[in-house]
Structure 1
């Protein structure tokens, strides 16, 4: 055994001794190093790729572990001709190529352009660019699967995308809008095989992009840059499948792109909980968004807290309930000429949702905690139409117009049954309620925006005018039937039989005037003024049904009209330098609110004045290392619902009452962001620190009636603070074909708990970490392992016994094996663990999915797939939520095990003769 070990050690040393390392420096015509240049080592016999690398910030490179042989070296850099040289075998271990001087390119019609595998990640100022070819996905995978493999990018189970800790709000294709602003329509429907690059950046407003003066408005955006061959032809996927338990799934995705024109058609239908669109849209149409953002704490769902909510929202863990959805639409982009461009889309979706949920919530009181338990069942349907259009026209070299409009129409219906109980700290039953509610309604909205921009002859001097109009109209009918039993004092039983109608209309219009003036030496001044007015009209009528007679209930009804307007004037100064830029400025906002509570014969008249300073600083250490600091202030005005002192008793044991004395919250936010990438080693690091201080913060106060019914009311507290940070470190180990990504996050939030009029502090801490390991062996095998662990705690000043400590853990494993040329085996494991150390609750949910595919037809364009989903039949979803007033645990039904046979056909495979994604290092020769 010892001799055998010595033999292997000897052979390994011999093998290492036969390896050589190639070093050198890539420089320009004046001998300055060129960072980020691509260095390729080729076999001179067939020009096949042997290895590749990139230069560091000084232009130096090193490619190790090459067998002792002759090679061809090529160096590519944007704007320069390709450099070629021969590598001869060396006596030593090091081959020093010296300084390789690049020559500026002069493009000719017959020039041969060699495109090589680029480095996985490139940072270009404020844009992080991922090379899609460096991140292998399964055949016929969607863009969402590609995003999951990118370092620094996370994709939640519901399709929400985060990059460097921030949520991605918009996804574009080749810089063009794709089906409005819903990111999932692009990520869950476009094939990953069509993508060349993924670019992540903060999209500035149209006004800021035009004037060059930062106005602070940004959207975290992903742009999907298509492969060149996909821009001239038809591509997409057709898919259909049938399974056990009457499961089915069908999907259509067709795209025809050519110069100046994009046409995409989407269609889908399934009862397997797959969604190719965002669920958030439903809440905005049914009134749920206003309910969730009305100051009742964190975003959450209580199924019968408001029967206007037609579709519940999943706020963690797996998708809740069983869903059947049908959807389809068309997206069209066309450049009529150099001056005029049109984007238009139409999308329709219909969703049936069946959800069975159990809620356990502990409410923290100074007199002793209360336990609220609820079991509810909701059946809902929702149909939605959306039309979006954007027209841009350049009147001339100095003037341009941009017209944007969005129209929606929605129909919703829901039926909910529930059983609820409240218990005191000694587990005594205080009250209980059994109820049924239903609601149906329609809503329509129109949003338009017209932007005129003008450039003066003096460079940097601009003028722009932005006009907006928004109209929303909704009608809803509902009823509820509930029996309530109160055990405090003498036992009392009440029956509530009510019906209600609500008509809501909102008209909002605004105008913004912005002027920029150059001050010389790359300094600019911007002056702006904005006027906005919102007119609201709410008419809610509630009737008690008594002996088949409808009796108007004035205490629950509400007729409200409001006029909200503000004037804001601001001045910003901007200075640009070679390595940095600075923006400082401030705005003064004057706000007026006039409301009329007609049934209560009560007027609301308020005015606020706020100074809103802003400061921004960007510094570029190099082309791959950047620092950014942002400071801004904002005002959160009370919503209409928050200001109305009208009881909402849709949940019989949990009432909500507005507060007409509510003041606006004023927030200071500071953010420091750092990004760096080492091109020679493919190492990247992203980090940010975010701090928020809010004065007059709006929180939810709790009080209880004599019958122990909880009453929630929005109130102002002196201040709240939040500090958070996130960091991601990603690096490869090329020798073993691996890549690691390690992330950590932390947040600390100091809030105020208001119970029975008494304020007490609460501290919420979150510590988390994410780890991902990817391994790839040629084109035959790839695997990944991941872990995401979050430790969350809540410490209450009112009572240490109320403190909470809980963990959410997610472990993932994926493996893909290609064998016998035309077969592929895919497996995935997602292991969810929910732990509450305070009450010893623990729930584990292992989710196992397996599939085997057989590829056939030309270029493997056809796929026959047999799959099993949720192999262990774990049909439960779990959500844990901690707020300043309570801790809540929700469990719900979810989709169980089913088997399915599917056929997938990939169009336009003929443009890829290999029938697969090019392997790492594959080169393509393109002649213009």
Structure 2
């Protein structure tokens, strides 16, 4: 009996010991602002031993193999008060998730930084990554608010995003396109609280992402990664508002996250110029109050939009994602411009007043299927469809002056355009058993067409009698079709663990086919008749075959590739012009050296051929503008562009200083440029100029950019510098004589971000731009423009639930010949937040309080410079109601690995 009792006690003890041995304890550490505390020391103590770890980049810690049901947790973080808690759990428990630990600031401790932790910014060849929890944000902040705080990234007043001086063209979430990659759809709808990292990526396409072989110039894209604890739940944001001048806005954004599945719906109705889905977008509410729409887009716009985004995994091997969007847009724009066109010994000054109304409807479908067949094979299929219908009427009042003549009159252009497009891409990749041995095949095709019905009416007035001197009506029916096919094959053969050879071949076929029927009448009331000289059926093909080889080396500190390519190309048409065969030989090179995790130097050289456009090639004279004709040249050959860039990025973790620099140089051989032929105004001819085309050399452009950011006192203050220098050597011909249009643009911006106290956000900035344009053959149209701007953004939080905010922009312009405007734009708002989590707010907004909003732009190309001004959304007031609702359960099955890197705050 005693033996039986002892045996039972032994079995019970062993069972209890086994249960305790398998116990896992997890937890998360945050500060009082709900930000994760990184690198905090976490100590678990039992009666027999003590275990030590630290929190990872998400503030999460984990202990395994805990043998005691009773233990204590002690949390220590530099700059925080120590927290200690004791726990007792069931001996049979196998997993325990502790309630979050909230650390309070310790004012007595010194502000120190330990430099052996995870940096806020990391650099990895083509990717720059920002850690979101390193930046302090308020409740309901959006991704756009976060981007404004990231060094090297800028968000302008219209919501456009640039990174390292280059426009961001696409946004992805967890590596997948979101609403087709629309930038503003993502930045102005996604809450910053669900994001873990922001990645700035130089994207060379899907094939390059798989093979690592990069050709051509990269697109700048952003990738948002979602926090693990926000990967399961839903969120809803909405706004409804009304104001004077019959202004209204309403939008809703709904999103659901269920681990691998993502669903989103976005709708928008407004007449405040707030566009979405690949159109210029403005604010749609949320925590901001600077503007209710895009007040800086030209004209007045009514917008109705709806879109749906989908992502899911169909089993373990297939991922599907895509979107559909529809936009109805009604825009009315009134503008004026002064266009100066150089002749050999004359200047044509074309003063225009333009009244345009445009109604458009656009549908777009993008979808992606990724099939991971097995560990060695991958397939991606990407179909896309779009359809657009555009109706516009454009009334133009012109007054053209030269040193000797003057003409004025009106033209009316009625357009009905339909643009159906479809295409797709197939990518297949096979990895052989040997390391780095890889075969990749990529094929893409697209078909686009434009059907246009144009009614052009032109009247030239006699400056003496006031009677109509010349009348012209043109009915133009055009059907332009473009078909493109591309195939690329890449094979990589490893030489060693760090070296390989890559062989590639690319085939490109582009066909442009245009049917154009023109009917003319030169007397009012007479039915237009067929004009054989302007009507035309023209087809041209551009075919390229590119053969290349690259030698690539990937070491821990550096990587480089050296390559050589040969590209024969042929341009042929259905005219009597013989086929034009050209072979381009060019090297390619890339080099990247990584000094550290946050410091890198890279160099790139590439070459590419560009075919002329249909307008430049068609062998007819287009007289759809009665005074400025265009004649194509079917003898043109393709251009060839050489591109080089040097980039240096450095994030100094110890000081927090961030420096981005980039220098690029492009030169184009056989550049397709204009030859402007001038005609005197006579009694039987009022044609002023005719643009013809030819190939020439001498075109180049140099672009330099830098951005420097320096934080002070734990990012309470941040000083930002941004500068650029652009020099364009434009080539044009004036009456068959070569002219160099030299355009220099210098820009410098200084900004100061203040977050010293929790109740105030204060961001002043100043910008200076210098724009000089000179011509070698005629100096009469030379221009030197100066623009000095000051801006101020501020938010004041008071009485816990009230916000007062606004922004001010003042510009001083000089050098404009006919327009003198120095607007002062002031916007302001007062917001009251409701409920404990501030998920709703009522906001009173005032836009352009002084009623001075207008546009002003200067552009110089070739022998032509244009100064333009147009109407914009001006002063109005609006009351709006905003709500934010979200609920996330987290994903307990996806606890991130505990890293050894630490950063103390």
Q: 2:650 aligns with which of 657, 660, 676?
A: 676
Q: 2:691 aligns with which of 693, 706, 712?
A: 712
Tell me, what secondary structure is at the counterpart of 1:908? strand
Maintained 8 Å contact 1:612/1:634 = no
Between the aligned partners of 1:87 and 1:336, the Cα distance in structure 2 is 43
Tell me, what secondary structure is at the counterpart of 1:397? coil
Counterpart residue number, 1:333: 311
Cα shift readout 1:861-881 (whole Å, capped 9, x = no counterpart): 111111111111124211111
Q: 1:791 aligns with which of 764, 770, 783?
A: 770
Maintained 8 Å contact 2:855/2:869 = yes
Counterpart check, 1:233 vs 2:212:
no
Q: 2:807 aligns with which of 819, 828, 838?
A: 828
Q: 2:302 aligns with which of 306, 320, 324?
A: 324
Maintained 8 Å contact 2:553/2:559 = yes
Counterpart residue number, 1:465: 441
Between the aligned partners of 1:895 and 1:267, the Cα distance in structure 2 is 22
Maintained 8 Å contact 1:322/1:895 = yes
Counterpart check, 1:750 vs 2:724:
no
Instruction: Quote the offset at 1:486 in angstroms.
Output: 6.8
Counterpart residue number, 2:845: 867
Counterpart residue number, 1:849: 827
Counterpart residue number, 2:333: 355
Maintained 8 Å contact 1:205/1:215 = no
CA gap 1:87/1:141 in 2 versus in 1, 3 angstroms:
closer
Tell me, what secondary structure is at the counterpart of 2:190? coil
Instruction: Quote the offset at 1:834 in angstroms.
Output: 3.1
Counterpart residue number, 1:373: 351
Tell me, what secondary structure is at the counterpart of 1:275? coil
Maintained 8 Å contact 1:211/1:462 = yes
Counterpart check, 1:390 vs 2:364:
no
Tell me, what secondary structure is at the counterpart of 1:680? coil
Between the aligned partners of 2:786 and 2:53, the Cα distance in structure 1 is 51
Counterpart residue number, 1:276: 276
Maintained 8 Å contact 1:851/1:868 = yes
Q: 2:861 aligns with which of 864, 875, 883?
A: 883
Between the aligned partners of 2:324 and 2:78, the Cα distance in structure 1 is 61
Between the aligned partners of 1:401 and 1:556, the Cα distance in structure 2 is 48
Counterpart check, 1:654 vs 2:632:
no
Instruction: Quote the offset at 1:826 in angstroms.
Output: 1.1
- The TM-score with structure 1 as length reference comes to 0.80
CA RMSD of aligned residues (A): 3.2
Q: 1:739 aligns with which of 714, 718, 725?
A: 718
Maintained 8 Å contact 2:362/2:387 = yes
CA gap 1:400/1:719 in 2 versus in 1, 3 angstroms:
same
Ranges in structure 1 where 5+ consecutive residues have no aligned partner: 1-41, 56-72, 90-107, 282-315, 913-928
Maintained 8 Å contact 1:766/1:792 = yes
Counterpart residue number, 2:177: 177
Instruction: Quote the offset at 1:717 in angstroms.
Output: 2.1
Between the aligned partners of 2:599 and 2:844, the Cα distance in structure 1 is 47
Instruction: Quote the offset at 1:214 in angstroms.
Output: 3.1
Maintained 8 Å contact 1:263/1:332 = yes
Taking the TM superposition and a 5 Å limit, the aligned residue runs for 1:548-567 are: 548-567=526-545
Instruction: Quote the offset at 1:583 in angstroms.
Output: 0.5
Which region of structure 1 is more displaced relative to structure 2, 129-138 or 799-808?
129-138
Between the aligned partners of 1:324 and 1:616, the Cα distance in structure 2 is 47
Between the aligned partners of 1:227 and 1:51, the Cα distance in structure 2 is 12
Taking the TM superposition and a 5 Å limit, the aligned residue runs for 1:278-317 are: 278-279=278-279
Maintained 8 Å contact 1:75/1:84 = no
Between the aligned partners of 2:126 and 2:547, the Cα distance in structure 1 is 29
Larger gyration radius, structure 1 or structure 2: 2
Counting matched residue pairs gives 792
Counterpart residue number, 1:405: 383
Taking the TM superposition and a 5 Å limit, the aligned residue runs for 1:7-26 are: none
Between the aligned partners of 1:397 and 1:673, the Cα distance in structure 2 is 35
Maintained 8 Å contact 2:148/2:154 = yes
Q: 2:550 aligns with which of 572, 581, 586?
A: 572
Maintained 8 Å contact 2:234/2:888 = no
Counterpart residue number, 2:394: 416
Maintained 8 Å contact 1:53/1:119 = no
Counterpart check, 1:771 vs 2:750:
yes
Instruction: Quote the offset at 1:404 in angstroms.
Output: 0.3
Cα shift readout 1:680-720 (whole Å, capped 9, x = no counterpart): 22111110111112222222221212325122223222222
Between the aligned partners of 2:183 and 2:237, the Cα distance in structure 1 is 19
Cα shift readout 1:180-202 (whole Å, capped 9, x = no counterpart): 13222212332334333221121
Cα shift readout 1:629-653 (whole Å, capped 9, x = no counterpart): 0011111221222111322233322
Tell me, what secondary structure is at the counterpart of 1:209? helix
Tell me, what secondary structure is at the counterpart of 2:255? strand
Between the aligned partners of 1:733 and 1:592, the Cα distance in structure 2 is 59
Counterpart residue number, 1:511: 487
Between the aligned partners of 2:515 and 2:809, the Cα distance in structure 1 is 48
Between the aligned partners of 2:226 and 2:670, the Cα distance in structure 1 is 48
Between the aligned partners of 2:815 and 2:746, the Cα distance in structure 1 is 15
Maintained 8 Å contact 1:125/1:624 = no
Taking the TM superposition and a 5 Å limit, the aligned residue runs for 1:805-820 are: 805-820=784-799
CA gap 1:435/1:47 in 2 versus in 1, 3 angstroms:
closer
Which region of structure 1 is more displaced relative to structure 2, 176-185 or 398-407?
176-185
Instruction: Quote the offset at 1:47 in angstroms.
Output: 8.1
Cα shift readout 1:754-812 (whole Å, capped 9, x = no counterpart): 11111132322121111111111332111101222211111222244432110234322
Counterpart residue number, 1:438: 414
Instruction: Quote the offset at 1:841 in angstroms.
Output: 4.8
Maintained 8 Å contact 2:216/2:608 = no
Maintained 8 Å contact 1:501/1:541 = yes
Tell me, what secondary structure is at the counterpart of 1:641? helix
CA gap 1:332/1:370 in 2 versus in 1, 3 angstroms:
same
Between the aligned partners of 1:160 and 1:51, the Cα distance in structure 2 is 27
Counterpart residue number, 2:91: none
Maintained 8 Å contact 2:841/2:882 = yes
CA gap 1:87/1:901 in 2 versus in 1, 3 angstroms:
closer
Maintained 8 Å contact 1:776/1:783 = yes
CA gap 1:459/1:758 in 2 versus in 1, 3 angstroms:
same
Cα shift readout 1:516-566 (whole Å, capped 9, x = no counterpart): 111124111111112222233211111124655341012222211222222
Counterpart residue number, 1:540: 516
Which region of structure 1 is more displaced relative to structure 2, 673-682 or 874-883?
874-883
Maintained 8 Å contact 2:128/2:201 = yes
Instruction: Quote the offset at 1:274 in angstroms.
Output: 1.3
Between the aligned partners of 2:272 and 2:382, the Cα distance in structure 1 is 35
Counterpart check, 1:451 vs 2:430:
no
Which region of structure 1 is more displaced relative to structure 2, 132-141 or 527-536?
132-141
Instruction: Quote the offset at 1:84 in angstroms.
Output: 8.5
Maintained 8 Å contact 1:127/1:200 = yes
Maintained 8 Å contact 2:277/2:325 = no
Tell me, what secondary structure is at the counterpart of 1:180? helix
Between the aligned partners of 2:573 and 2:225, the Cα distance in structure 1 is 49
Taking the TM superposition and a 5 Å limit, the aligned residue runs for 1:32-43 are: none
CA gap 1:491/1:238 in 2 versus in 1, 3 angstroms:
closer
Maintained 8 Å contact 2:825/2:853 = no
CA gap 1:760/1:550 in 2 versus in 1, 3 angstroms:
closer
Maintained 8 Å contact 1:488/1:706 = no
Between the aligned partners of 1:144 and 1:651, the Cα distance in structure 2 is 43
CA gap 1:641/1:137 in 2 versus in 1, 3 angstroms:
farther
Q: 1:494 aligns with which of 461, 470, 476?
A: 470
Between the aligned partners of 1:621 and 1:640, the Cα distance in structure 2 is 48
Between the aligned partners of 2:467 and 2:31, the Cα distance in structure 1 is 89
